[in-house]
Amino acid sequence: MARWTMGLLVLTLVGCSAAEVHAGRGASSGASSNSTGTTGSSTGSGSSSGTGSSASSSSSGSSSSSSSGGSGGFAPGVHPPWPRVPAGAAASLDATELVVITFDSDAAGTDGGYPYQDTVEAFGAWMLEDGWLTSVAGEYGVGAGAARTPVRLAEAAPAAISDAEVQQFLEAKLNSGELPLPDANLIYMVFYPQGTVVTLENGAVGCTDFAGYHFDAQVTVGGQGYLIGYAVVPDCDAPGAGLTELQQIEIAASHELVEEATDPEPDLEPSYILPDGDPWSATGGELADLCQSNYQRASGTPYLFQRSWSNTLALGDGSPCAPAPATPSKPFLGVAPADPEEVHGNAGETVHVPLVGWSTAPHAPWPILARTIVGNFDPQPSASPATIGNGGTATLNLHLPANATSGESAVVWVFTQQGLGNDSQWWPLVVRVN
Ligand SMILES: [Zn+2]
């Protein structure tokens, strides 16, 4: 059973955009569902036995607060701890290498080929050789080797290609000698130009349902079998969130590089991934997925990259996404359910979920933002009051439609900031109909 791990298009978290699409890793069919909630089959089964009553969870709300933030006497408000992502059987790549593969001309021949060849080649080398990859994934045993010589193919890129055909393409190029021979540490990253539509076996479509993916494949080269790791990054027109095509490509490439380096055999031996059904996995449970929509400029470079989950940072009160923000002087502003368990209610009912707020330094109250990510229905989340402060509380209101049926669910994210330069981390909450 193929299990792709897809990097989604950036979740804008601002207004609406055609590019706001979410897909669960390995979701069975048509992995897309937009924020109005459609499929969401794989989301939020939740391990909890659920209280059955509507979410009055004044209860335990496991806390973590080590007082950080040096101003005397200040302590972050009590909040549930960040999750930690478990290792699997496959070891991380300890000397990661990357070969960037591009095409000189696009399928239609109208876009002047692929205008980002120079940039993605330089970006690939930068991620490995300037310490970026190890700064993000070193704690998982990832090491960085050198970037391999990029490969530019003279042939036109295909107008459409399936993942199975990507694997055949890689195998053919390995046998023709156009690609370097496999190595346990080597990732093949194919950048397709506009005009190439990439599809996965589960029906997911590039630039509609995902902005990139990584996977592993068995290939035969010169009569010998190899397991190779690869990633695919399409060129998405108008990616949304105020991003350029190139920025979206950089976000997707950095996302997939980290995930392939920490989960090099997603099909055979998944590693550093939260299980299906975990509410944090609603948009994929790998390290970069958990920091989805959290991207950052690399200072001193033109690059934008995706941040990734850090189990080490997750022990603290601040952002769990690495690397640390460029402006550490800015406090982290958090909001989370007081009790992160799945909540339940009857159809037609509005469920009230207690929220807690915390910050890593004194700060005026900040807005609570909430959004439906995936599900059978849209519970139209709203917070009252609309702001929260350190140690403060608020209520998240979730409406279960009268026509919802028993067992149906939705995943809502609560978060506090949006846009480039802000340092927010969403917290997922599953609401289910009794
Ligand atoms: Zn991912």
What pLDDT score was predicted for residue 267? Answer: 85
- Ligand 1 centroid to Cα of residue 371, in Å, is 20
- Ligand 1 centroid to Cα of residue 247, in Å, is 16
Q: Is the pLDDT of residue 64 over 80?
A: no
- Ligand 1 centroid to Cα of residue 238, in Å, is 20
Average pLDDT over residues 240-263: 93
Q: What is the DSSP string of 116-180?
A: THHHHHHHHHHHHHTSHHHHHHGGGT--EEEEPPPEEEEEEPPSEEEHHHHHHHHHHHHHTTSSP
- Ligand 1 centroid to Cα of residue 211, in Å, is 9
What pLDDT score was predicted for residue 362? Answer: 95
- Ligand 1 centroid to Cα of residue 212, in Å, is 8
Please indicate, yes or no, if residue 304 is contained in any of the structural domains. Answer: no
- Ligand 1 centroid to Cα of residue 395, in Å, is 31
pTM metric for this prediction: 0.85
Contact, 346 vs 400, CB < 8 A? yes
Please indicate, yes or no, if residue 30 is contained in any of the structural domains. Answer: no
Residue 4: pLDDT band by 50, 70, 90 thresholds?
Answer: low
Residue 381: pLDDT band by 50, 70, 90 thresholds?
Answer: very high
What pLDDT score was predicted for residue 248? Answer: 94
Average pLDDT over residues 212-223: 96
**Token pair listed for 296:** 């950052």
- Ligand 1 centroid to Cα of residue 288, in Å, is 5
Average pLDDT over residues 389-410: 97
- Ligand 1 centroid to Cα of residue 258, in Å, is 9
CA distance 205 to 237: 14
Please indicate, yes or no, if residue 332 is contained in any of the structural domains. Answer: yes
For residues 346 and 374, state if they share a domain.
Answer: yes
Which of 273, 291, 325 terminates a domain? The answer is 273
- Ligand 1 centroid to Cα of residue 251, in Å, is 11
For residues 332 and 265, state if they share a domain.
Answer: no
> 42-56, 105-119, 233-247, 352-366: which has the minimum mean pLDDT?
42-56
For 330, the domain range is 35-84+317-434
- Ligand 1 centroid to Cα of residue 353, in Å, is 29
Cα torsion 54, 58, 60, 61: sign: positive
CA distance 398 to 25: 25
- Ligand 1 centroid to Cα of residue 216, in Å, is 14
For residues 134 and 57, state if they share a domain.
Answer: no
Please indicate, yes or no, if residue 401 is contained in any of the structural domains. Answer: yes
Q: Find, among 428, 126, 165, the residue nearest to 302 by Cα.
A: 126
- Ligand 1 centroid to Cα of residue 109, in Å, is 31
**Token pair listed for 150:** 């990029």
Please indicate, yes or no, if residue 91 is contained in any of the structural domains. Answer: no
For residues 366 and 424, state if they share a domain.
Answer: yes
For residues 79 and 125, state if they share a domain.
Answer: no
Number of domains making up the chain? 2
Q: Find, among 275, 263, 292, 315, the residue nearest to 84 by Cα.
A: 315
**Could you tell me the CATH number of the domain that includes residue 48?**
2.60.40.10
For residues 231 and 138, state if they share a domain.
Answer: yes
What pLDDT score was predicted for residue 327? Answer: 66
For residues 236 and 339, state if they share a domain.
Answer: no
CA distance 419 to 416: 11
Q: Is the pLDDT of residue 41 over 90?
A: no
Residue 12: pLDDT band by 50, 70, 90 thresholds?
Answer: very low
What's phi and psi for 250, nearest 5 deg? -65, -40
Residue 79: pLDDT band by 50, 70, 90 thresholds?
Answer: very high
- Ligand 1 centroid to Cα of residue 5, in Å, is 5
Q: What is the DSSP string of 372-416?
A: EEEESS----EEESSEE-TT-EEEEEEEPPTT--TT-EEEEEEES
Contact, 338 vs 394, CB < 8 A? no
What pLDDT score was predicted for residue 420? Answer: 75
Q: Find, among 3, 7, 420, 2, the residue nearest to 207 by Cα.
A: 7
Q: Is the pLDDT of residue 11 over 50?
A: no
Please indicate, yes or no, if residue 286 is contained in any of the structural domains. Answer: no
- Ligand 1 centroid to Cα of residue 289, in Å, is 4
CA distance 427 to 131: 29
For residues 267 and 190, state if they share a domain.
Answer: yes
What pLDDT score was predicted for residue 276? Answer: 85
Please indicate, yes or no, if residue 282 is contained in any of the structural domains. Answer: no
Average pLDDT over residues 193-214: 93
What pLDDT score was predicted for residue 422? Answer: 76
**Could you tell me the CATH number of the domain that includes residue 229?**
3.40.390
Q: Is the pLDDT of residue 166 over 80?
A: yes
What pLDDT score was predicted for residue 47? Answer: 30
Pairing of strands 186-191, 96-105: parallel
For residues 107 and 199, state if they share a domain.
Answer: yes
Q: Kindly report the average pLDDT of the chain as a whole number.
A: 84
For residues 170 and 234, state if they share a domain.
Answer: yes
CA distance 237 to 232: 16
Q: ∠40-45-48 over CA atoms, to 5°? A: 150
Average pLDDT over residues 222-239: 94
For residues 110 and 79, state if they share a domain.
Answer: no
Please indicate, yes or no, if residue 27 is contained in any of the structural domains. Answer: no
What is the maximum span of the chain, computed from C-alpha positions, in angstroms?
68
pLDDT tens digit string along 281-323?
A: 988 899 999 998 888 888 889 999 999 999 999 999 999 999 9
- Per the listing, tokens 């669960």 go with 24
Q: Is the pLDDT of residue 15 over 80?
A: no
Q: Which residues contact 382 (CB under 8 A, 6 or more apart)?
A: 370, 396, 397
For residues 350 and 204, state if they share a domain.
Answer: no
What pLDDT score was predicted for residue 19? Answer: 24
- Ligand 1 centroid to Cα of residue 25, in Å, is 8
What DSSP character marks residue 286?
A: B
- Ligand 1 centroid to Cα of residue 115, in Å, is 25
